[in-house]
Structure 1
């Protein structure tokens, strides 16, 4: 009797098990319908290397394949990558847009959550034609390598080898990874292995670490593995990489597949000599892919490099690269570098797996032909990215993978990171001065950018809810109404004037106060004196429009003058209420001199406070993603990036302090923003109309624009103007270049 009562439960249990098994089989069996070639019992190939090309098995034959790819990050606005916020629905939506753009490869740097692989398998199963292929990266213990300076330490070896096993298991849907802070985990059951185009092992290598590893283990015998080995010419670090690539191959072979192998490399550790590079550590050591060889790996092996047109400085200073002209007849050092790099790797495919420029207000490095690390509109971003992709193709490379698909708010850049405080809140706001945040082809725009358009029309302001905007009771001659609002990226101001603003004959000023201190007097204020100082001053006009910063508040001078001694200091400008406003600048190159560099390398800087007139209406022919202001009739509309107003973290109302005693900057919590606008006739000598005879103007009586701190962000996705330009070049480049490359 007891046995009979248990049978229904066993039957239900078996049904559940069969259902789960059927689902698993569906994921495995359907994906294995990908056409492949069996090279030996139980071993399949879909991609292989053949001399200097990559090939795909298609239509029962091997055909040349050119990789047109996009790198995919792991974060969303408001999150750091380790929080793993991207859902399966996000991935599916993005895959459709990436496919529409014409890409055939998605590269990820590390293990993504199970939802990524499930979405890739699901998308490809439903897609007509060729699938989206996956280049899977395997993250090395980067911070530990830099800290310990010896790649062969057991703790590094064990951590990296476990990451390799986890990555291969995740791709083949055959592992359950524990939940760990900052790492993907969960049950991996979707088999994305047959969609892999290649394995991309490691991260950009610190040259000092590479050199020290080579010195410590200089007597080491070259690595000899099961599928890969190091040649007799290999350094110790190259042997270390050969071992890691071999372990990836060993792990993948367990699943009956072979795919092409590569490891991450970059210009800093390339095998070429760069006598024109001024900084020693940028050309101090090589990591040479030709010193690693496949021995029983039919899928083959290729070299891959991250090659940006602005870094290192050899792209500007190495005369050996100023020998090649591009299609427009200009000397093109990027094209020359690609040619030299390709020539070095004889008989071996080479792929550029990161390249591109950002569409950001900020700039962090100058590049030749205007290919800077930032300062580009979305349109110009697309033009440069398309140029670079065409050059990669024309120089006979096996592919190019653009950096990056989506904007990443959590990113930092060397020339703004000291001003983003507290740094653990970087993902909660969009600092458009930080170029690294804005490499994306898919824009992750701050929340009001789909509501408010800079175009000189206030109708969109009228649609904002009452609680989303604030009318300021600022009674100043020439102004009827002033409104303010904000989002994660900008502070917005709308002024309705008594009569139309004429930038040809007038200048419109907006003084901004966020904390005690600053300039109570200035040439721009004429004879007027304030009872409280201004941190920044906005000027709008026909010839120049910019935001200037009080000289004693200027982050740039305080960091590179007072702390680093790279800028001359004027004592009179370091005093409070100096009366001087200076241009808002960012460093784009540090001063270097021997022994750190071969020759003296001057400090370089760029003015970042210029305010462009134009419209942010993305569907308008004159759309400018960097537009800051516009005026029509009696309306003046303006948006200002947070950092230009002194904010280090607007989400917690933190502004840079005037306190400047230690090496690190200090912040203060502001009550909000107080503004003082006025209009001056360019023929006149100051505002005149806002001062009170004999008394300081009572700035402290003006209303403060304030807001509540935020812990969650709003944002919206939109394809940038660069998207159709990338789409066009991807559609053009259907097969590898076949023309002979001239020496």
Structure 2
């Protein structure tokens, strides 16, 4: 090889650019200034693999390069990824923040609009000393693969090949993509190829599809391509993957460049054996990167995995992972797994291209050391993400890429998706119980976040425009004023009492009515029977008492996992209307498992998500708590409640869960609004009858409703989460073991 700072000038390409206009010339010239190495065969290289490292050509020599990256999605609140709403200005603003955080690589999963590549080249041209490099993903026909379970079907093969051609053309600014639903389109003229770190081919592989492909095409378990080929140990699916990776190499070679290659993989299809994994499907088949090798591709090839600390379940159950301790002396199964995976991939780089936890109210899986899939404050999210990244660096990996840059409201999670209806409106509100929506380091907050702060100060309510709030004329003893407001994430309540609220002496209750039915009597109501039932009951008191509970007959968790699936014990008397029982709001975090699907019986696991934390939601406060629900100071009490905890399946269309519905499908109904029934329970007399007498003076059907208009557009704002600064510090301090050799 010989060093060369300028890419070979292609006069034909220059002519085309000149025809397009002088204003486009900088795309070409910027790319030509990127320092690279020319191979003996005439290709340009900026990155390559060497042993178990990735190297970058800089200052006329190859130097170790450790990836500190971030995954960037394709959506904004109010949109789905296929709508591609992100503008060039958005990208440029985000790139500056990503750079400031200390990241050096951005990974995208699929082709972004032309604006993305234009912004990347423009940003790097202005920041030539520390550019942001790109790890470009190529989306596989995921839905077809899962549905048809055969990667060798001609239509799947050709669709993937076309996606590869389109992706390479988009990165090198040499393609015009026609409009197609759910896909990026437009004219691509910005050449981002010189800023490319590598190609990340495919998506997480469905194990049933992989096994079925291997069985159907056992005789096709080899591939000998132009640049990549399989080893003698390869399976049919690995041969298919080698062919796709080779296709990427062939397409890129047409542009005179070579970059390192990898394919997407995850723990479910890793090449290790996990005897402690309870579910057979999570350890049934392997997709092994060592069964593919670069035959004539100087830029090389590396392994990449998505590795989260809470999935699959063997992170909690496998004794083989209980042998390694972290710096705090704790058994650390994540660190143990990283070590085993690194040991398997000898003499080749390995990278964790997805890791992280969400800062969400809800959670979907439990992990060791509290590294659950959700249930974290933004501060806790940052601390866990930083710890995971440090372990990735300590175990000799080539880098780590955190998931994800921005929150994405459209995302769904297995344990809340059945309660988000209609499904096609999921992007119009932020369900903080859906952890997948809140992995971002850049928060996408509903419009009253930071405007109505839960801090016990009513001044922000006084300053809120009249059309965005409503005073409820309740006349209930003990309450001077009650106000309500809402946004895309929460219902907000402010109560001014006629005395200072003291949780040691009293409890504050809000009964909530959204639809006909519910509990008209309950122990909390004493001897009074209401004229209309309550769906939920909010109690504010001591820390352990403050929560929102749901009428037992309305509770979707019990109805689905108890009545429909038979995974929970069910008391039939609690399922009837007006059962008089309010139950804790819960989410499933692990389904009941039994043979033959699992090796042994595991009961359903569930967590309470209705606990209401007291704190401040003011992001400017040193005491900021992203999961705080309420605060009280003097006679002012402020509260915010996630829509789903009130039974809403889509607040943007005024849709709530109904009481009807059989089997696994729960019906929805339209609400006319929210009625609040507040009362104060004094601890001293211990007589619910006394408060019930006061309640009886105010029939529920006579109470005013809080109403709002359906919405089709969202208002939101972005803000760096607390986790951003914590990970920024980690990215700046990390000293990778790989670079200390």
| TM-score for the superposition, normalised by structure 2 | 0.96
> Corresponding residue for 1:76?
76
In 1, distance between residues paired with 2:97 and 2:247?
34
In 2, distance between residues paired with 1:480 and 1:621?
31
Deviation at 1:664, TM superposition (A): 0.9
After superposition, give the CA deviation of every residue in 1:461-491 in whole Å (9 maximum; x if it has no partner): 0111110000001111100000000000000
Deviation at 1:40, TM superposition (A): 2.7
Structure 2: tracts of 5 or more residues without a match: 1-14
Whether 1:629 and 2:638 are equivalent positions in the alignment is no
In 1, distance between residues paired with 2:96 and 2:736?
22
What is the DSSP-based 3-state SS (H/G/I as helix, E as strand, rest coil) of the residue aligned with 2:38?
strand
In 2, distance between residues paired with 1:236 and 1:221?
4
Matches within 5 A, 1:548-587: 548-587=549-588
Number of residues of Structure 1 aligned to a counterpart in Structure 2: 726
Whether 1:258 and 2:264 are equivalent positions in the alignment is no
C-alpha contact 1:447 1:714 (8 A) present in aligned 2: yes
In 2, distance between residues paired with 1:206 and 1:195?
31
Matches within 5 A, 1:436-451: 436-451=436-451
What is the DSSP-based 3-state SS (H/G/I as helix, E as strand, rest coil) of the residue aligned with 2:705?
coil
**Structure 1 residues 254, 359: CA separation in 2 closer, same or farther (over 3 Å shift)?**
same
In 1, distance between residues paired with 2:155 and 2:562?
41
> Corresponding residue for 2:338?
338
C-alpha contact 1:366 1:373 (8 A) present in aligned 2: yes
Between 213-222 and 177-186, the greater mean CA deviation after superposition: 213-222
Runs of at least 4 residues of structure 1 off by over 2 A?
A: 15-25, 660-663, 683-697, 733-740
In 2, distance between residues paired with 1:724 and 1:688?
52
Deviation at 1:529, TM superposition (A): 1.8
**Structure 1 residues 57, 48: CA separation in 2 closer, same or farther (over 3 Å shift)?**
same
C-alpha contact 1:66 1:736 (8 A) present in aligned 2: no
> Corresponding residue for 1:644?
645
After superposition, give the CA deviation of every residue in 1:677-714 in whole Å (9 maximum; x if it has no partner): 01111233455455458968511000000000000000
In 2, distance between residues paired with 1:35 and 1:405?
28
Task: Tell me the C-alpha RMSD between the 2 structures.
Answer: 1.4
Matches within 5 A, 1:588-737: 588-688=589-689, 691-692=692-693, 697-733=698-734, 736-737=737-738
In 2, distance between residues paired with 1:687 and 1:103?
58
**Structure 1 residues 481, 293: CA separation in 2 closer, same or farther (over 3 Å shift)?**
same
Whether 1:394 and 2:394 are equivalent positions in the alignment is yes
In 1, distance between residues paired with 2:32 and 2:608?
55
> Corresponding residue for 2:309?
309
C-alpha contact 1:530 1:697 (8 A) present in aligned 2: no
Whether 1:365 and 2:365 are equivalent positions in the alignment is yes
In 2, distance between residues paired with 1:49 and 1:455?
53
C-alpha contact 2:393 2:736 (8 A) present in aligned 1: no
What is the DSSP-based 3-state SS (H/G/I as helix, E as strand, rest coil) of the residue aligned with 1:240?
helix
**Structure 1 residues 453, 322: CA separation in 2 closer, same or farther (over 3 Å shift)?**
same
**Structure 1 residues 66, 691: CA separation in 2 closer, same or farther (over 3 Å shift)?**
same
Deviation at 1:734, TM superposition (A): 5.4
> Corresponding residue for 1:480?
480
C-alpha contact 2:677 2:700 (8 A) present in aligned 1: yes
Deviation at 1:41, TM superposition (A): 4.9
In 1, distance between residues paired with 2:662 and 2:182?
35
Deviation at 1:619, TM superposition (A): 1.6
In 1, distance between residues paired with 2:675 and 2:500?
24
Deviation at 1:18, TM superposition (A): 4.3
In 2, distance between residues paired with 1:692 and 1:538?
19
In 2, distance between residues paired with 1:663 and 1:639?
30
**Structure 1 residues 695, 705: CA separation in 2 closer, same or farther (over 3 Å shift)?**
closer
What is the DSSP-based 3-state SS (H/G/I as helix, E as strand, rest coil) of the residue aligned with 2:218?
coil
> Corresponding residue for 1:7?
none
What is the DSSP-based 3-state SS (H/G/I as helix, E as strand, rest coil) of the residue aligned with 1:246?
helix
> Corresponding residue for 2:527?
527
In 2, distance between residues paired with 1:21 and 1:52?
45
What is the DSSP-based 3-state SS (H/G/I as helix, E as strand, rest coil) of the residue aligned with 1:276?
coil
What is the DSSP-based 3-state SS (H/G/I as helix, E as strand, rest coil) of the residue aligned with 2:158?
helix
C-alpha contact 1:509 1:677 (8 A) present in aligned 2: yes
**Structure 1 residues 529, 102: CA separation in 2 closer, same or farther (over 3 Å shift)?**
same
In 1, distance between residues paired with 2:215 and 2:80?
36
In 2, distance between residues paired with 1:622 and 1:257?
51
What is the DSSP-based 3-state SS (H/G/I as helix, E as strand, rest coil) of the residue aligned with 2:339?
helix
In 1, distance between residues paired with 2:388 and 2:691?
53
> Corresponding residue for 1:116?
116
Structure 1: tracts of 5 or more residues without a match: 1-14
**Structure 1 residues 20, 709: CA separation in 2 closer, same or farther (over 3 Å shift)?**
same
> Corresponding residue for 1:57?
57
> Corresponding residue for 1:500?
500
After superposition, give the CA deviation of every residue in 1:631-659 in whole Å (9 maximum; x if it has no partner): 00110000000000000000000000000
In 1, distance between residues paired with 2:687 and 2:480?
20
Between 375-384 and 725-734, the greater mean CA deviation after superposition: 725-734
| TM-score for the superposition, normalised by structure 1 | 0.96
What is the DSSP-based 3-state SS (H/G/I as helix, E as strand, rest coil) of the residue aligned with 2:607?
strand
Deviation at 1:544, TM superposition (A): 1.6
Matches within 5 A, 1:9-28: 18=18, 20-28=20-28
Matches within 5 A, 1:509-528: 509-528=509-528
In 1, distance between residues paired with 2:61 and 2:608?
56
What is the DSSP-based 3-state SS (H/G/I as helix, E as strand, rest coil) of the residue aligned with 2:406?
coil
In 2, distance between residues paired with 1:662 and 1:595?
23
In 1, distance between residues paired with 2:234 and 2:568?
44
In 2, distance between residues paired with 1:465 and 1:693?
33
In 2, distance between residues paired with 1:18 and 1:462?
59
What is the DSSP-based 3-state SS (H/G/I as helix, E as strand, rest coil) of the residue aligned with 1:449?
coil
In 1, distance between residues paired with 2:343 and 2:117?
36
In 2, distance between residues paired with 1:31 and 1:199?
18
After superposition, give the CA deviation of every residue in 1:541-564 in whole Å (9 maximum; x if it has no partner): 013200000000001000000000
What is the DSSP-based 3-state SS (H/G/I as helix, E as strand, rest coil) of the residue aligned with 1:304?
strand
In 2, distance between residues paired with 1:183 and 1:688?
62
Deviation at 1:525, TM superposition (A): 1.1
Deviation at 1:621, TM superposition (A): 1.2
What is the DSSP-based 3-state SS (H/G/I as helix, E as strand, rest coil) of the residue aligned with 1:99?
helix
